[in-house]
């Protein structure tokens, strides 16, 4: 703790000249990517208010004398403390309480809406990861929630923008660790879309981004080197199934076409593994297709038969290893061995919940170095994959339920009721799941 305090104090001393940052308008994390001028920042988000930190433009503020005069007039962030020490205290407040901090006063609100506060938390290793879940309700509406693993509570969020409240087949991805993008999809009335929007976990607000080059829905997407890739999918019209692919670079704030896939495909599973993007889906005649994209060569290549044969959805790559679920409720995991081109059993929780749609595992995401399995009933399990030789029986902490904790008997009852209640009726289910830092 003492070492961490010295580290934060040294960083804050480097920012002492930046006291006016407390009063800067919100920006969009671009300082983390190395923008140096206000002109470049304008290219990132045209027409938006810009963060005028000295890292972007050291001449944006008034003279030092004006800053000192302004700081004497303004009340301190915390009475009796210099602002740098006050910030050292505030950055240690848990993320779940930040919504309340913004309501204390204008200076606190501006501090938390700016880039400096969260960049400092990230630099000191204090940024917290939350799980964001998009769910389609029984009436077809899209809702979303954020899960705080520290307090193990679901946190409130602003409503999903209207254009995505009922959309089908849209993409979801995270850039820069704190921006969640929704893109493409099919509107029930207007058809396929090119629209792109993003949510900032730092400001808790939605923003617009440049549209995609091609309308598409039910496509594949991934993030490599903080660039967003999309490929395939469908588009209403004569050429229904697509071969085209494109990439969004947030540094340039624009989309560009990349090499087309060898065949048109509607992907239903994809993962980034070993620096490549692997896709598996259905072709124009509903046959199973698979391809891998290498961003270094801008080329698509076939995938080995062994990987395709045992590859199930959902799957994830973590610490250089590829994992996939081996049962409907996600209580068994398999791992892929590239040397032998085979999948093998990795870990079994020994407590299985059932096979109903409500208990089906919908997503796997990385959370604080562990695998996080999310089910349609919003129950969550954490799996520690750092020690593959250990068994759950001798080390129960390898597999932990952190949300929707239910005993085995209750899980069986839930499964039975779910099976009895209208098998043919529409079910609520998770469509996307991501992790954001702030």
- pLDDT (average), residues 196-203: 96
Q: Are 23 and 110 in contact (CB under 8 A)?
A: yes
**pLDDT tier for residue 73 given thresholds of 50, 70 and 90:** confident
Mean pLDDT of the chain: 83
Of 153-162, 220-229, 402-411, least confident by mean pLDDT is 402-411
Most confident of 24-28, 32-36, 285-289, 420-424: 285-289
**Nearest alpha carbon to residue 198 among 224, 173, 231:** 173
pLDDT at residue 352 in the model: 83
Please give the distance of CA 414 from its chain centroid, rounded to a whole number.
29
What pLDDT, on the 0 to 100 scale, is given for residue 266? 97
Position 427 scores a pLDDT of 78
Give me the pLDDT at residue 63, please: 52
- pLDDT for position 19: 35
- State phi, psi for 120 to the nearest 5 degrees: -65, -45
Span 78-107, pLDDT tens digits: 999 999 999 999 999 999 999 999 999 999
Question: Rounded to two decimals, what is the model's pTM?
Answer: 0.81
Cβ–Cβ < 8 Å for 316, 364: yes
Sequence-distant (6+) residues with CB within 8 A of 172 are 134, 180, 181, 182, 183, 221, 431, 432, 434
What are the structure tokens assigned to 135, written together? 């769910």
- Confirm or reject CATH 2.120.10.80 for domain 129-437, answering yes or no: yes
What confidence category does residue 40 fall into, taking pLDDT thresholds of 50, 70 and 90? very low
Which residue shows structure tokens 């099919």? 186
**Is the C-alpha dihedral spanning 349, 353, 355, 356 positive or negative?**
negative
**Could you give the CA distance from residue 202 to residue 111 in angstroms, rounded to a whole number?**
11
Neighbours of 306 (CB within 10 A): 15
And the tokens for 78? 């915390």
Residue 416 pLDDT greater than 70, yes or no: no
Domain boundaries, the chain: 2-123, 129-437
């Amino acid at each position: 703790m003492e070492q961490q305090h010295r580290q934060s104090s040294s960083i804050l001393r480097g920012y002492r000249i930046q006291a006016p940052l407390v009063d800067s308008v919100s920006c969009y994390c671009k300082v983390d990517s190395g923008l140096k001028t206000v002109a470049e920042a304008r290219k990132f988000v045209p027409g938006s208010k810009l963060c005028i930190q000295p890292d972007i433009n050291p001449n944006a503020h008034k003279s030092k004398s004006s800053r000192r005069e302004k700081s004497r007039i303004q009340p301190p962030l915390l009475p009796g403390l210099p602002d740098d020490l006050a910030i050292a205290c505030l950055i240690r407040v848990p993320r779940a309480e930040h919504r309340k901090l913004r309501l204390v006063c204008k200076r606190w609100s501006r501090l938390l809406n700016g880039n400096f506060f969260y960049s400092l938390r990230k630099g000191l290793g204090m940024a917290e990861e939350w799980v964001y879940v998009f769910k389609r309700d029984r009436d077809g509406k899209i809702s979303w929630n954020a899960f705080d693993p520290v307090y193990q509570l679901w946190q409130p969020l602003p409503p999903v923008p209207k254009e995505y409240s009922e959309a089908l087949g849209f993409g979801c991805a995270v850039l820069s660790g704190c921006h969640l993008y929704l893109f493409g999809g099919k509107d029930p009335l207007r058809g396929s879309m090119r629209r792109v929007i993003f949510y900032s976990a730092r400001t808790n607000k939605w923003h617009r981004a440049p549209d995609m080059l091609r309308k598409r829905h039910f496509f594949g997407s991934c993030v490599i080197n903080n660039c967003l890739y999309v490929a395939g999918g469908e588009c209403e019209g004569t050429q229904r199934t697509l071969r085209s692919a494109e990439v969004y670079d947030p540094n340039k704030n624009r989309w560009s076409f990349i090499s087309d896939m060898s065949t048109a495909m509607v992907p239903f599973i994809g993962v980034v593994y070993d620096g490549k993007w692997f896709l598996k889906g259905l072709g124009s005649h509903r046959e199973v297709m698979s391809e891998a994209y290498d961003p270094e060569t801008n080329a698509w290549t076939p995938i080995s038969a062994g990987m395709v044969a045992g590859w199930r959805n959902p799957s994830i790559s973590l610490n250089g290893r590829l994992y996939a679920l081996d049962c409907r409720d996600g209580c068994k995991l398999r791992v892929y061995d590239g040397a032998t081109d085979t999948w093998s059993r990795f870990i079994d929780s020994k407590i299985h919940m059932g096979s109903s749609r409500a208990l089906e595992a919908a997503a796997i995401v990385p959370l604080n170095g562990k695998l996080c399995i999310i089910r349609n009933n919003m129950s969550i399990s954490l799996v520690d994959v750092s020690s593959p030789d250990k068994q759950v029986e001798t080390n129960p902490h390898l597999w932990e339920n952190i949300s929707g904790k239910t005993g085995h008997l209750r899980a069986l009852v839930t499964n039975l009721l779910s099976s009895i209640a209208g098998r043919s009726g529409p079910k609520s289910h998770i469509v996307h799941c991501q992790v954001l830092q702030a």
